[in-house]
Structure 1
Amino acid sequence: MKEYQVVLITKNVKNEMEILDQSIWENANCLTDFSSPWNNDLVSKIEFRALWNAQNLYFNFRVFDTDIYIDEKDNSIDSIGNSDRVELFFRANDSLNPYYCLEIDTSARLMDFEAKPNKDFDFSWKWPKEDLSITASKDEVSFTVEGRISIESLNKLNLIQNNIIEAGIFRAKFSKDENQNYEPTWISWVNPNTETPNFHIASSFGKLILIK
């Protein structure tokens, strides 16, 4: 499995802080190893960073793309699911029974749900609000989605074992096709080696190693 080392934050950080200072993020490892195994087109550069301390796991996606599509008809699951977004999946083991999904669009709308094998999704399940914070921003060349997840909530879901979190890291990019319809390009850290795009499979996960 692919591995990413999550650096421990040594500075004092307020537990409620949603956005870490840039000086703190500079200590994180930068993951750029993303691709779309089902599409030959070049994908925009993605930088993923994560940090942790005793209270929280912090994550940061910076995507170098300004051609962003958001379905703004409402704030429903379907609307978020039809928008450019980044995604984090977490599992206890490769049985995927269950696993947990966070899908976040460029305006920080969240689609969170519990899942079981064969795309059995429970959209009534929600990550506890007090254990999760998310923000999004844009600049001239990119958009950023970042947030924090409490270590307590990850432990309650049995998602940290021997300082390892098994996770999938993904992006959905929507572009117009020749019929002027928006269609997704699916981008992943780990190539799941499937004929068609599928993140909801055991082979799409890697390991986040919490370094002490």
Structure 2
Amino acid sequence: MINDRQPQDTEAKILQAAESEFLTKGFAGARTTSIAQAAGVTHAMFHYYFRTKDKLFERIISEKIALMKELLLDTVVNSDMSLEDKIRNVIGRHLDFVAANPDLPRFLVGEVFAYPERAKVLTEKIRMFAPRMIAELQRQIDEAAANGIFRKVDARMLIIDIVSLNIFSYMASPLINAVLDNCMEDSESFLAQRKKENFDTIMRKLKP
């Protein structure tokens, strides 16, 4: 009897192997034969599930962006929390995502600079939800500013601040660990500390 889960399991193994291959070698250096071998499937089976390396790359990026979309929209648009709690939640959940995918920011930045045409895959998918999220965040900031709770700031700049604070440590982790006595070695402690520090930094920007 054929296991109904076998196709899903095979696809998941290919995606996991491909993600590792892309992140360690970059898109140009990744080889479908290596991905198939790491996934434990034949090269023919690989092509049955994913016709080209480009399609596989787009699938992985789409899934990562979908996770970010869910994180941001759930917190900023679909939540009744106060704006301060939303910002705390966004910083924390985004940092959790980055910590779980520490090589992803470095990979994406490298690919976009090396192959600008790949930026189109990212921007098209991000633009499907970002304008709505930014507009709603700006509305909430303006309302808080009108009530004297926060200073009036540009929501786009706030997002850049949060993303920059969250990803830098993981993009520069080899240098940070070498210079700052392996301060990231205790990953759980470091993550908790960065959540607090980044939130406090953003609040200092927002508080009147």
> Structure 1-normalised TM-score?
0.27
By percentage of residues, which structure has more strand?
1
> Structure 2-normalised TM-score?
0.27
Bigger radius of gyration among the two: 2
Higher RCO (CA 8 Å, separation ≥ 6 residues):
1
